[in-house]
Amino acid sequence: MQIPEMVRFLVEAGRWAPSADNTQPWHFFWDGHELALKYDGKRIGPKGFQMHHRATLMAMGAVIENILQAASENHEGWDCSAPRDESEKFFSIRLNETQQNLAPPSDLPLFKRQTSRLPFTKERLPESFRDFLEDQSGLKTFEGKENLGLMEELVRKASMARFRTKEIHEWFAGSLRFGKDEVARGDGLDVSTFGLPPGGKALLRFISDWKRMGVLNSIGGYRFFSMMEAVSITKAGAVVAITGEPGMDQAIEAGRLMEQVWIEANANGLGVQPYFIVSDQLARLSEGLVPDELVGEVRSLESDVQRALELNGEILYMLLRVGFGKARPVRSVRLPQDAIFTVTRGD
């Protein structure tokens, strides 16, 4: 079956969406008329973020946002749906013959979106971007020393729990990609994007082993590593919190909103780094997955989040560190289209 250029273009747009630890939990199917988005449980496996996990839902939302932006600046007229029924489709877009033959846009901001874990300046955000944030519901922006200090404390507390949770630590360690051959696989976290100081890569490799991390934790190592993870929060222009009602559809919409903010920030010359760790700890608490010895700490974190973000029946989905970067980041790679795209026979 010949694949229209526009279909390949939509898949390419979806392929560059962000996902937790660059897991890319999606797969696209084309039957000659409809492009469908599904969860790739076979590739992710039982130990990865499952189909209804908050991280997966937000990633799917980001994919949907990219596809809609790629379909057209105004996607009215496209037959789009989000059935999420027994077929486990998260989204589908049906192309008629005219749309299949459309010439894809030559250049879109979504293809320039990237993560920056490098240092930022404390320079004030551009007014155009600030106006964009104010026009969106579900966003809370934190600026200034005091407010950024509150966000740093939330990340630090969440990190302290994370570095003492075996399941999370081993999952994160398994996502790390150290050498060129590992990076070339197209998934996971390229360590070269972390902007580590001399010796940092060796230290990261050393603590990837849970037994070693356990020894360090016995002498308070988790406090040091959580501080290192959180310190960059105060050295930024702002932190943007994405909040919303709990639920599957709401998480997907939060992912769409996250992608809109991210693309707009990069288009304004700003760097963006996502912090899912706080939301993840709170989700684990609600699901009874926090180790018994850490429940008290995470409950305290939950109270701090409610107070700092002034949530009223809403939940935190994501924190985004935003600011002007001091250096150009290395862009993460992606799985090739052939690994995430299947052509099927239509009815």
| Phi, psi angles (nearest 5°) of residue 158 | -65, -40
Tell me what pLDDT residue 84 has. Answer: 64
| Phi, psi angles (nearest 5°) of residue 140 | -130, 125
Tell me what pLDDT residue 116 has. Answer: 96
Residue of 315, 317, 257, 341 lying closest to 27 (CA atoms) = 341
User: Rounded to two decimals, what is the model's pTM?
Assistant: 0.95
Tell me what pLDDT residue 45 has. Answer: 85
Assigned CATH topology for domain 5-114: NADH Oxidase (3.40.109)
Tell me what pLDDT residue 261 has. Answer: 98
Alpha-carbon distance 14 to 153, whole Å? 34
From-to residues of CATH 3.40.109.30 in the chain: 5-114
CA dihedral sign, ordered 246, 252, 253, 255: positive
Assigned CATH topology for domain 127-323: NADH Oxidase (3.40.109)
Chunked into runs of 10 residues, the chain (347 residues) has average pLDDT values of 90 96 96 94 85 94 96 78 72 90 88 95 94 94 96 98 96 93 94 90 95 96 95 94 95 97 97 97 96 98 96 95 94 94 81
Reduce the DSSP state of residue 118 to 3 states and report it.
coil
Alpha-carbon distance 288 to 290, whole Å? 6
Tell me what pLDDT residue 86 has. Answer: 54
Alpha-carbon distance 97 to 273, whole Å? 40
How far is the CA of 30 from the CAs of 27, 65, 152, 160, in angstroms?
10, 18, 44, 44
